Chains A and B, each alone.
Chain A
C-alpha cells in the first residue's frame, strides 16, 4: 500500500531532527497565520493562481531566497566538518551524512537558487524590456513555476522523511545505481531535477517565443537591450541542453526502477556514457546561468556610467559565440576519462577559446565606464567586485583547460575553488547587482544603500577568505568531498581560514536580510518614481509599481536604449488608450504542480497507485485547460484610462 514508506523513514539523527522539526513547525506556523489573518483567499487570488509574469517572478525569487539559506546551512556544516575533522577528531558529521550534505548543497545552489533567480529575472524584466504586456504563453509560465516548486519540495522532503542522495550533485553511476545506493536518496535527487527540469524547458520555449514574437513595434533584433540578448542566448541553451538532461535522468531512473542496464557496470552497461551525457547538459548549464548575469552587468554599467554601452555589436557577437562554444567543451570535465591525447587537446583548445568572447565582454564594460559619469552605487560595487573575482576564476579556468595541468588538479579543491569563483563571483554577484538595481521598479522604494555596501564588502572579503585557501589546498593535493584528513598534512589552519571566510559571508547575508527589513520600514523615506536611476531601457517607462498590463499603450521603438531616446526627445507616452487583453487567473497551474508532486513522491517511494493517480491527474488537467477557449479577460478602455490617471502611490 505505501511502497517502501515506513515509520522508520521518519527517524533521524540529531542534526537532521532539528531541521525536520523546524520545517514541520515552521510550515504549521505559516498555515496557522494564514488562517488567523484570513489570508488564504488573498494568497490564492493574488499569487497562487496569478498568470502575471511579475507575480510569478516574485514567487520564484522568494523560493530561491529560502533555498539560498538552506544551501548556506549546508555550507556551514561542511566547513565546520572540514575545519574540525583532522587527525583523531572526527568532526560533527558521519561520512554518510557529510556526503548527503555536499550533494544537497550543489544540487540546491545550482537548480533551486541560481535557476530560480534567473527565471525570476526573466519573468520580471524580459516582457517589459521588449515593450510587451506578457509572455507568449502565460499559462505555461505558471505550470513552469509550479513544477519548479515541486522540485523545491522534493529536494527538501528528505529532511522530513527518508534520506537524500549521497552520490554528489551529478550522481555519477555506478555509485548512483541501485547496487551502491539502494535507498530513496538518489530517487529524490532524480525526480526533483526531472520535474523542475521539465519546468525549465517549458520556460525556455516560452521566453524564446516571447523574445521572437512579442517585441514592441520597431524593436528590431539589433535594437534589443543586451539583457534580452543574453536571455535569448540563455534560453537557446536551455532548449538545447535540457532535453539531454531529461533523457539522461530518465535512463538513470529506469536503471533503478525496472532493471535496465544503461549505466550499470555489468550486463554491458556503460557508466562513462552517463558522464558524457550529463556534462553535455552540464556545461551549457553553466552558461545558462552566467549569460543573464552578463546581461545584467551590461545594463547596470551603461546606466550608471550615463553612456551607451560600448561595443553593442561585439557584445551580441560575444553572446552568440559563447552560446555556440559552450556545446564544444563538455569533455574538459573528465580529461582523465582516457579519451586519448587528440580528443583532450581538441577540448582543451575549445575551452581556452571560450575565454576570448568572455574577455571581449569585460573590456566592453570597462570601456563603457571610461570617460563616463560613473555613479558608484551598490550595483556598481557588485560589478567591480565581479570584475576582480571573475577574472581570477577565469584565469584559473584557462589553467585547467590544459589537460596536462588538469591531470594534476583534477578532483581537488583547486577545481572546487575555481567553479565557486565563477558561480559566486560571477553569477551570484550579478544577481545581487540586478536585484538591487531593479528592486525599486517593483517595490516603489529603494533598498538601503549603506547596508547594501556593508553586505557587498562582507561578501567580497568573505568570499576571498573562504576560497583562496581552497586554491592552495587543492595544489597541495587536498581532494574534494573529503570528510577527514591526517593531521600531519598541515591542512587544518587553511581549512579554519576558509571557515572564517564563510562566517564573513554569513555576515553579508545577515546584512542583506537586514537591508530588506530596514528598507521596508523606511519605505516612506526612500520612495522613488518610475525612473530612479535615470534608466535607458523600456522597463523604466512603466509606472512604479507596474500595472498588470505593463504599458497602457504599447511603446513604439526607434532606437537602442529606447527609453533614453524618449527622454532626450521629450516624448510623452501616447494616451490613445484601447481595451487591454490580459489572461484570466488559473488554478490549473498549481493543481498540475500538486499532481506532479504526488506522482514524484509515489515513484520515489514505490507507491505505484499514487504515482498513477498523480500522472493521470496531470493529463486530465492539461486536457481541460488546453481545450478551453475562454482564457482571456478584457480591461475596458475607460478602466485603463482611470488607472492611468490615478496618481502614483494612490493605487
Chain B
C-alpha cells in the first residue's frame, strides 16, 4: 500500500474507533445516571463518606494519569520509528495500569471484607458496577497492550501496528477521562456532602 492508501484506511479506522468510544461513553453515561439516582439509597448501610479513603484514591488517580502520559510519549516514539523506546514506554504504561488495577481490587476486597459488598445496598451495587466496569475496561486495555508489545517485537513498527498503537492510545486516554469523571462524581462529590 502507498501512503495515500494507508492514510485512507487509517481514516476509516479512526472514525470507526471514535464512534465506538462514543458508544462506550453512553454506556458509562447510563451507569453514571443510575449511580446518581441510587447514591442515596443506602438502605441503612454505609454512605459514601463512610467508605471512601481519599488519599488512596488520589494515588490511584495519579498513577492512571501518569500511565496515560507515558502512553502518549510511547506513541510519539512509535511515530518517530524508535522501536526500543516504543516497547519500553508502552511496557511502562502497562505496569502502571496493572498497579492501578491492583489498587482498585484491593479497595474492593477491603470493602467486601468489611461486609460492604454490592449485595448490601443499591448504592453499593451502583458503586461497584460503575467503578468495576471502568476496571474491566482497564483490564481489556492491558490485554490489548500486551498483544501489541508482542506484535511490535515480532513485526516492528509497520503501518498496521502504528495504527493499532494509536487506537490503543485513544482508548487509554478515553479511560482516563472516564476515571476523572468517576473521581469527581463518585469520590469528590461523595465525600463533600
Residues of A within 8 A of B (CB): 136-137, 201, 204-206, 208-209, 212-214, 239-240, 242-244, 246-248, 250-251, 254, 258-262, 264, 266-270, 273, 277, 619, 623, 626-627, 629
Cβ 8 A contact of B38, one of A242, A259, A266, A273: A273
| Chain B: minimal CB distance from A634 (Å) | 12
Contacts of B125 in A (CB 8 A): 254, 260-262, 269
Taken together as a complex, chains A and B put the C-alpha atoms of A261 and B122 apart, in Å, by: 5
- Cβ of B192 within 8 Å of any chain A Cβ, yes or no, is no
Question: Are A262's CB and B12's CB within 8 A?
Answer: no
Q: Which residue of A lies closest to B33 (CB)?
A: A277
> Chain B residues in contact with chain A, CB under 8 A?
11-12, 15-16, 19-20, 22-27, 29-31, 33-34, 37-38, 41-43, 118-123, 125-126, 128-129, 143, 147, 151, 155, 158, 160, 164
Q: Which residue from A136, A209, A627 sits with its C-beta under 8 Å from B151?
A: A627
By beta carbon, the residue of chain B nearest A273 is: B37
In chain B, what residue has the closest Cβ to A258? B118
Write the chain B residue with the least CB distance to A628.
B160
Given contacts A244-B30, A261-B122, A262-B129, list 20 more A-B pairs with CB under 8 A.
A137-B16, A205-B20, A208-B19, A212-B15, A243-B26, A246-B27, A254-B118, A258-B119, A260-B119, A262-B38, A267-B122, A268-B38, A268-B43, A269-B122, A270-B41, A270-B122, A273-B38, A277-B30, A277-B33, A627-B151
Q: Is the CB of B122 within 8 A of A268?
A: yes
Q: B34 → chain A, closest Cβ, in Å?
A: 6
B38 pairs with A209, CB closer than 8 A: no
Residue contact B30 to A247, C-beta cutoff 8 Å: yes
Measured CA separation A248–B31 after assembly (Å)? 9
Contact of A209 among B12, B22, B31, B122 (CB under 8 A): B12
Q: Whose C-beta in chain B lies nearest to the C-beta of A254?
A: B129
- For A245, give the chain B residue with the smallest CB separation: B30
Q: Tell me the smallest distance from the CB of B189 to a CB of chain A, in Å.
A: 19
Give the chain A neighbours of B151 by CB distance below 8 A: 627
- Chain A contacts for B31, CB-based, 8 A: 247
A-B contacts, 30 listed (Cβ < 8 Å): A137-B12, A137-B16, A209-B12, A213-B12, A213-B15, A239-B19, A239-B22, A240-B26, A243-B27, A243-B29, A243-B30, A244-B26, A247-B27, A247-B30, A247-B31, A247-B34, A251-B129, A258-B119, A260-B129, A261-B118, A261-B119, A262-B122, A262-B125, A262-B129, A268-B122, A269-B41, A273-B34, A277-B34, A626-B164, A627-B151
Q: Interface of chain A, helix or strand or loop or mixed?
A: helix
Q: Would you give the shortest CB distance from A473 to chain B, in whole angstroms?
A: 37
| B147 engages A623 (CB within 8 Å) | yes
Residue in B23, B33, B34, B42 whose CB lies within 8 Å of A268: B42
A214 to chain B: closest residue by CB: B12
Which of A262, A264, A273, A629 has most B Cβ within 10 Å? A262
**A201→B22 CA distance, assembly (Å):** 12
Instruction: For residue B159, give the distance in angstroms from its CB to the closest CB of chain A.
Output: 9
Q: Do B147 and A627 have beta carbons less than 8 Å apart?
A: yes
Are B160 and A629 closer than 8 Å at their CB atoms?
yes
Distance A136 CA – B18 CA, assembled complex (angstroms)? 14
Q: Which residues in B have their C-beta under 8 angstroms from that of A205?
A: 16, 19-20, 23
Interface pair B41/A268, CB less than 8 Å apart? yes
| Cβ-neighbour of A262 out of B29, B126, B155 (below 8 A) | B126
Known A-B contacts A270-B38, A273-B34, A627-B147; A136 and B129 likewise in contact (beta carbons under 8 Å)? no
A261-B15 in contact (CB<8A): no
CA distance A212 to B18 in the complex (A): 13
